[in-house]
Amino acid sequence: MSRKLAVYWGCFTSTKQYALELSTRRVLESLGVDIMELKDSSCCGYPYRGVRPKLWTFLAARIMALAEDQGYDYIVPVCNGCYNSLIKAKHYISENKKLLDEINGYLREEGLVYRGKTRVVHVIEYFHDYYDLKSLKEEVFNSERRKLKITTQYGCDAIRPGEIPRFDNPRNPQKFENIIEALGFTAIRDYSRRLDCCGAPLMAVNPELGLKVNWLKLRSAKMSGAELLVTTCQYCFEMMDSRQESSESIMGEELGVPVMYYQQLLGLCLGLSEKEVGLNFNMSPIEFFLEELKR
Amino acid sequence: MSAILKEIIGLQDPDVCYQCRRCTSGCPIAYLVKDFRPHRIVAMVNLGFIEEVLRADFIWDCTRCYKCTEYCPQRVAPSDIVLSLQALCVERGIRFPDEYRNMILRISRTGFSFEEMEVADREMEIYDRKSLGLPPLTPPSKIDIVGKIVLSLGGIKE
């Protein structure tokens, strides 16, 4: 059976977080999944949900209307922000007929129509429930990896607000840990700031505060005893990996937490090279983990 | 509570807040910023001190992580209130961070909020989409139509 997947890359991944796009592409290829590109796509509107709410709903509805138009039952946004943007806008529009008509008025100018039929699937949800845990295990599981302990960063946008239906329990999600254990690793399922924010949304208005939030979160992850932290969110990744050093210098204490994308970790387990999954872009100290993984 | 705020907030009702402070106790920003107290923001809005909150810098310190909303026993959404206050700030011209204006302009030209960047790796080697073998980014084919709508909904004149 050939598998197909419509992926929506979003702005941040396709303009900066190349490691996420690279690793996602290579991993899906290795797993035999054909990537269908969402044609004519644009920003999902998420940054404007506060300052220009209508612009947000229009841009989010546009992405889902494109998916409908191109015949996809569901799409996977690789970005946490895009995921939340789409499911929130969908929820919001479904409760407001006036807004729906207004948005469709704009979309019609481009020959599109929003019906709210497309399912929006999170990356973690995709591996857990669509590609499915059993197939993932058959493909990748290796019990020798059990000695390595890994913990997670879901990212707020994956799980909250929980009043909009999510792929997992918003107060104690487990699916991310499950897809890590499906590769053979031991998942650490708790640390004190596990479901907290990484501070990324503050970087535009109050970077120092954002970096402090990040440091507290990383320290808490470190105290869990994990040898690696994985995430699927590129905002969290940028904070926890690339800005870890800045956070350390603001707080005056080093942490040295290795950080990777889940797709990078999965790629390594599938036998892809470090370069193929873009590990040369990770700035956190991942060397030790990589050595342990090879042993 | 002011009607305009209510219209923006939409889905929930802040009036039922009984000040238990559960939102503040779990807030990662309240932990670091003395003035940022979600329960107090809700109280100020309920008591009608909207102008005062609008002019307070701390409303821009919210990370929008929605923890407060998730754990509220009354289903009040402090994070949505903060977002609505930000929207109101922009609408009234009190504050509209430049970054947003530039990003909206960029969408109207390219379809995306951010510019395609060259990125350095650990060895300080520079890469872009092309050198990494990633397909080129293209604007939506009807960007002229999309761009016009984006500018008008973004409230920006070119």
CATH code: domain of residue B45:
1.10.1060.10
Total number of domains in chain A: 2
**Beta-bridge mates of residue A259:** A229
pTM of the model: 0.95
DSSP-based three-state secondary structure for B10: coil
Q: Which domain holds residue B131?
A: 98-153
In this prediction, residue B158 carries a pLDDT of 67
Could B65 and A55 be called an inter-chain contact, meaning their C-beta atoms sit closer than 8 Å? no
Could B97 and A204 be called an inter-chain contact, meaning their C-beta atoms sit closer than 8 Å? yes
DSSP-based three-state secondary structure for A153: strand
Could A48 and B154 be called an inter-chain contact, meaning their C-beta atoms sit closer than 8 Å? yes
Mean per-residue pLDDT, A217-237 = 97
Same domain, B56 and B30: yes
Output Rg (C-alpha) for chain B, integer angstroms: 20
Tokens 């329990």 belong to residue: A169
Same domain, A159 and A268: yes
Pairwise CA distance, residues A182 & B56, whole Å:
48
Mean per-residue pLDDT, A149-162 = 96
Q: Which domain holds residue A109?
A: 3-120
The domain boundary residue, chosen from A93, A120, A147? A120
The domain boundary residue, chosen from A58, A85, A120? A120
Nearest by CB: B70 against A25, A161, A204: A161
Q: Is the peptide bond before A161 cis (omega within 30 degrees of 0)?
A: yes
B64 chain-A contacts, CB cut-off 8 A: 50, 156, 201
Same domain, B87 and B102: no
Tokens 């797993």 belong to residue: A31
Residue A130 belongs to a domain: no
Could A201 and B111 be called an inter-chain contact, meaning their C-beta atoms sit closer than 8 Å? no
Residue A132 belongs to a domain: no
In this predicted model, what pLDDT tens digit does every residue of A120-146 receive, in sequence order?
Answer: 999 999 999 999 999 999 999 999 999
Q: Is the pLDDT of residue B8 over 70?
A: no
Interface of A with B in 251-290 (CB under 8 A): 278, 280-283
B87 chain-A contacts, CB cut-off 8 A: 50-53
In this predicted model, what pLDDT tens digit does every residue of A250-263 receive, in sequence order?
Answer: 999 999 999 999 99
Q: Helix-strand-coil percent breakdown of chain B, rounded to 5?
A: 50, 5, 50
Pairwise CA distance, residues A110 & B107, whole Å:
16
Mean per-residue pLDDT, B113-134 = 96
